[in-house]
Amino acid sequence: MNDRVAVVLRITGLMSLGVGLLIGYFAMTASPSLYPPIQASYLIIATILAGAGFLAFISKYTE
């Protein structure tokens, strides 16, 4: 893999991981009046973002 592509992939992976963790944190600490399916969908989105970000971050080491 090209080094520049790997650096961009790692940076976007870290950003995606951070955004996913933030969304998950806010979804877990939201008020109980939040409609449960909306909270569940936020958690699913957060899980996908964090997982994709983590995989993109470690892709440099799994070549």
Judged against a pLDDT cut of 70, whether residue 4 lies above it is answered with yes
The two most distant CA atoms of the chain are separated, in Å, by 48
Over residues 14-46, the pLDDT tens digits come to 888 888 888 888 878 876 666 777 778 888 888
Q: At what angle do helices 36-58 and 3-28 cross, to 10 degrees?
A: 160
53 vs 36, higher pLDDT: 53
Domain that holds residue 38: 3-62
What is the pLDDT averaged over residues 46-56?
A: 86
Number of domains the chain contains: 1
Distances (CA, A) of 50 to 4, 41, 53: 22, 14, 5
Give this prediction's pTM.
Answer: 0.69
Instruction: Provide the 8-state DSSP code for 32.
Output: T
- The answer to whether the CB of 13 falls within 8 A of the CB of 35 is no
